[in-house]
Amino acid sequence: MTRAAPSIATTRRKRKAMRFAGLVAMLAVASMPALAANDAKTAFRPCIDPSNLPFANDKGEGFENRIAALFASKLGLPVKSYSFPQRMNFIRNTLRYRLPGEDFRCDIVMSVPAQYDQAQPTVPYYRSTYALVYRKGKGLDEVRSGNDLLALPADRRDKLRIGFFDRSPGGTWLVKHGMEAQAKPYPMMSPDPDQYPGQIIDTELAQGKIDAAIVWGPIAGYYATRVPGVEFVVIPLRSEPGVKFDYAIAMGVRRGENEWKTTIDKLIADNQAAIMQILHEYNVPLVDAKGDPLG
């Protein structure tokens, strides 16, 4: 992470072009004032991107869709999602949006950083990390960690092309370790209406346009299993001084809706095993607070 999205083709194509920016942009936005507390819920209403797998889509195929359905069933409510492309101002246009005399369009964002300040975060429900992805059998098979990549002989390392999304930790890490020449940035907000975040793996990396990619863990794990006949290796990366790779992810509710937050916190605690099972089905690389891989 279905919704009441605009129907004209041009709008849908524009949404696709910018969908990846949302979660990354949430890490650095300004805080917002509190809103009024929630009324009694008649539906479980997540704010979800309409086309952003593995997180969510209009067909209910993402893990955010699955977790929303799980929570709705526990509350005895139907799911009524509101869709909007996840990008800059996503919260303002979803969780905080309502017209005079109308209700808010949705009540919960299914994935926000645990320290997010534009909404009220719940307790975290998973922690993931950025990951290095490469094709098996293409010369990097001995690389099992970020340090292994850095330790490659200079004549091999200098020939690599490593893709990453601009303004993400991957670029910071490559620069820190003197690999600017090997870095190939991809725009987080591409003007290409058909661009999607997994394309860096299932097209660019699969076709040999780059030798490796550094992307957010859920994207790495999901798309690394979706190219027929191509085997990828996914290496979770560890944070280090000056470069943070791992993040705890929570859900976000409107500020002031403390009773609703308490309800969601309890749902997360009571259903942690089921949540973890869903995330495992999507091959999300999970890590603990120290950055060590889980299971």
pLDDT at 2 exceeding the cut of 70: no
Lowest mean pLDDT of 154-158, 187-191, 263-267, 271-275, name the range.
Answer: 187-191
Q: What is the pLDDT of residue 40?
A: 80
Question: Which domains does the chain possess?
Answer: 9-126+247-281 (3.40.190.10), 128-236 (3.40.190.10)
Q: What is the pLDDT of residue 1?
A: 36
pLDDT at 11 exceeding the cut of 70: no
Distance CA 193, CA 252 (A): 28
pTM of this structure:
0.85
Per-residue pLDDT of 169-182, as tens digits, reads 999 999 999 999 99
Of 101, 115, 118, 100, which is closest to residue 47 (Cα–Cα)? 118
What percent of the chain is predicted at pLDDT more than 70?
85
Mean pLDDT (the chain, rounded):
88
Q: What is the pLDDT of residue 39?
A: 56
pLDDT at 22 exceeding the cut of 60: no
Q: What is the pLDDT of residue 193?
A: 62
44 to 41, 73, 79, 232, 241: CA distances (angstroms): 7, 9, 5, 37, 40
Question: In which band, very low, low, confident or very high, does the pLDDT at 201 lie, cut at 50, 70 and 90?
Answer: very high
Mean pLDDT value of segment 25-33: 39
**Top-confidence residue, 141 or 5:** 141
Mean pLDDT value of segment 183-202: 84
Q: What is the pLDDT of residue 295?
A: 72
Per-residue pLDDT of 95-124, as tens digits, reads 999 999 999 999 999 999 999 999 999 999
Mean pLDDT value of segment 56-82: 97
Q: What is the pLDDT of residue 89?
A: 87
Per-residue pLDDT of 214-240, as tens digits, reads 999 999 999 999 999 999 999 999 999
Using DSSP bridges, classify how beta strands 162-165 and 183-186 pair: parallel, antiparallel or unpaired.
Answer: parallel
58 with 79: CB under 8 angstroms? no
Mean pLDDT value of segment 184-201: 83
Out of 17-26, 70-79, 190-199, the most confident range is 70-79
- Bridge partner list, 236: 131
pLDDT at 13 exceeding the cut of 90: no
| Secondary structure of the chain as H, E, C letters | CCCCCCCCHHHHHHHHHHCCHHHHHHHHCCCCCCCCCCCCCCCECEEECCEECCCEECCCCCHHHHHHHHHHHHHCCCECCEECCCCCCHHHHCCCCCCCCCCCCCCEEEEEECCCCCCEECCCCEEEEEEEEEECCCCCCCCCCHHHHHCCCHHHHCCCCEEEECCCHHHHHHHHCCCHHHEEEECCCCCCCCCCCCHHHHHHHCCCCCCEEEEEHHHHHHHCCCCCCCCEEEEECCCECCECCEEEEEEEECCCCHHHHHHHHHHHHHCHHHHHHHHHHCCCCEECCCCCECC
pLDDT at 5 exceeding the cut of 50: no
Distance CA 253, CA 31 (A): 13
Q: What is the pLDDT of residue 196?
A: 83
